[in-house]
Amino acid sequence: MKSKNKLVLGALICTGFLLTACGGGKDVSKGNESEYKPYGKYDDTVTFTMGKNQRDVSTLPKGQTQEDNFASQYLLEEGNIKMKIDWEAANFTQKVSLATSTGEIPDVMIVGEDQFKELADNGLLQDLSKAYEKAASDDIKERMDSYDFDALEYGKVDDQLLGIPAPYYYYEQTLTWIRKDWLDKVDAKLPTNLDELYDLAKLFVEKDLAGNGKTVGILPNDKVAGVFGESYDLAPIFNQYNSYPRQWIEKDGKVEYGSIQPETKDVLGKLSELYKDGVIDKQFAVRTLEERQGLVADSLGIQFAPFWTTLTDMKETIKSNPEADWIPCAIPLKTGEKTQSFYAKPIINYLVVRKDYEHPEAIMRAMNLSYDFRWSNTEEARKFRDDKLGKGVDWPWGFVPVELDVRFAKNNQDDSRAVAKALETGKTKDLSPRMIPTYEAGKKYLEKGTADPDSWGTYKQYVEGLGISSNEEINEYHHMAFYGKTKGMKTKWANLEKIEDETFLKIITGEKSLDEFDKFVKQWKSIGGTDITEEVNKEVSK
């Protein structure tokens, strides 16, 4: 599968809005070359305004706010740069859309893909090419360059860098989790292939290991599969058969929709058999999220979920039964093969700067200093943090002035290995302050077991969950061919998804035979699928 990514960014409409500048202190021209550098302290305070998500500040030291806290104080001390909040919004997306429609936007925002395109289409954004090239720190650039695709290309429209992208870091795919205590009860081994997994699920149900007559082997959600990083998503099954529902894949030199491929039909046939045999929950198609979570707590033997769910759904199992345990697995189609999975969309969000803001280089400097403070990258940052917070105390990421989260591509893998090593050796000198609480929780779990479900969840999340999902020796990860949206999707996609959802559920539950899949494919193509596929291929070929 070719590692190629394309997003639809839309055409830039040069409407030329003229907005009032919000810089503070002495004006500095965008043409002042001497200010285009990663670090330096302005003679006169430079101010920028931001629109931010409304956040709970209870995790901050007493009396501190989003606007005035240790991180913003560091920015002022080191750079003489001040961030002022223009507005905070509980419904951030709606607020950005409203601001865009009026042309009255703050100097800086961090926005999602749709908002980025809308702002670009309305000519409200500044080209940050020069600012990034000359003023972004080496640390930021190393993070951006750590991905196996050109992340900056996603922030460009007509060769202008209108947004600094935050790439989606690796290893957050859905995993297979198995009740370890149930495995021990039936004296079974961990499955090494999917057939063994199916047999184990049957055994759990037959033996009623929940002890309540309601044991469930496998529990899908009502979308069945294909939503990245989703709990109850059967991607760990589909992907092993080279099926990628709800994703755009490369096939025979073209881009095709994964849900209509023959491989997807084959998997639906297998799931229908498992449903008939009582392995798949009989009520899965109509279960609410709360009902699914209840089954995880006391009746489910195999859960499909990303690593972080040990601190949510799976933690409830430990609360209700301290003798319980979950163990993550990467299970291939055949023993000895690598487990197949896919990457999320390449970009999480974008840092954007108002078109006529005078100090784009100051925003890069603010981002550099935000990262230095958050990750203790420099001696100055480490000393400032230690003096203000105490040595080794973490700081919540959302409360730095410029919170665009550009992490190293393998950040999750690095974190998992660092914590595991520290727990093994008892030495924490190589751990960042951010990971000290994780280490302490893991240590508590190893000493006290499941007595503290939160410590159990943290250990399982970082050491075991990420340990499995980031293990490149047993996993193979694929970029999908296309992650964006086309014009036709705006009016046709909701209906196409509806018939897809209905068909998948009816086939699995036996309401319709497997032959219904062929009718679905024909209908999907005729009511807009073919046209959208053509649009997608045009976008990818650009």
Cα–Cα dist 487/493, whole Å: 10
Q: Crossing angle of helices 113-121/92-102, nearest 10°?
A: 0
Residue 382: per-residue pLDDT: 87
**Could you give the 3-state DSSP secondary structure of residue 365?**
helix
The answer to whether residue 296 scores a pLDDT higher than 90 is yes
Cα–Cα dist 369/148, whole Å: 26
Pairing of strands 326-329, 300-305: unpaired
Of 479 and 28, the structure prediction assigns the larger pLDDT to 479
Which tens digits make up the pLDDT trace of 346-393? 999 999 999 999 999 999 999 999 999 988 888 898 899 889 988 777
Task: Give the mean pLDDT of 38-54.
Answer: 95
433, 392 Cβ separation under 8 angstroms: yes
> How far is it between the farthest Cα atoms of the chain?
76
**Above pLDDT 90, what percent of the chain?**
85
Residue 30: per-residue pLDDT: 55
The answer to whether residue 23 scores a pLDDT higher than 80 is no
- What's the length of the chain? 542
Architecture, CATH, for domain 37-169+347-389: 3-Layer(aba) Sandwich (3.40)
Residue 178 has a CB neighbour count (10 Å cut-off) of: 23
Cα–Cα dist 493/337, whole Å: 35
352, 162 Cβ separation under 8 angstroms: yes
The answer to whether residue 17 scores a pLDDT higher than 90 is no
Task: Tell me, rounded to whole angstroms, the distance of Cα 273 from its chain centroid.
Answer: 33
Task: Give the mean pLDDT of 425-445.
Answer: 89
Task: Give the mean pLDDT of 521-541.
Answer: 96
Of 389 and 48, the structure prediction assigns the larger pLDDT to 48
175-343+476-481 has the same fold as 37-169+347-389:
yes
Q: Is CATH 3.40.50.150 the right assignment for the domain spanning 175-343+476-481?
A: no
Which tens digits make up the pLDDT trace of 327-353? 999 999 999 999 999 998 999 999 999
Domain segments of the chain as ranges: 37-169+347-389, 175-343+476-481
Which pTM value belongs to this model? 0.85
Of the candidates 348, 364, 345, the residue with the CA atom closest to the CA atom of residue 129? 364
Of 57 and 394, the structure prediction assigns the larger pLDDT to 57
Of the candidates 341, 320, 324, 340, the residue with the CA atom closest to the CA atom of residue 332? 340
Task: Give the mean pLDDT of 481-508.
Answer: 95
Residue 4: per-residue pLDDT: 37
pLDDT band at 12 (very low <50, low <70, confident <90, very high): very low
Cα–Cα dist 200/512, whole Å: 27
The answer to whether residue 115 scores a pLDDT higher than 80 is yes
Letter string b/e over residues 34-68, b meaning 16 or more CB atoms within 10 A of that residue's CB: ebbebebebeeebbbbbbbbebebeebeeebebeb
Cα–Cα dist 442/436, whole Å: 10
Of the candidates 220, 217, 261, the residue with the CA atom closest to the CA atom of residue 243? 261
Mean pLDDT of the chain: 91
The answer to whether residue 18 scores a pLDDT higher than 80 is no
pLDDT band at 270 (very low <50, low <70, confident <90, very high): very high
342, 226 Cβ separation under 8 angstroms: no
The answer to whether residue 19 scores a pLDDT higher than 70 is no
Give first-to-last CA distance, the chain, whole Å.
19
Cα–Cα dist 433/295, whole Å: 37
Q: Which of 56-60, 185-189, 239-243, 462-466 has the lowest mean pLDDT?
A: 56-60
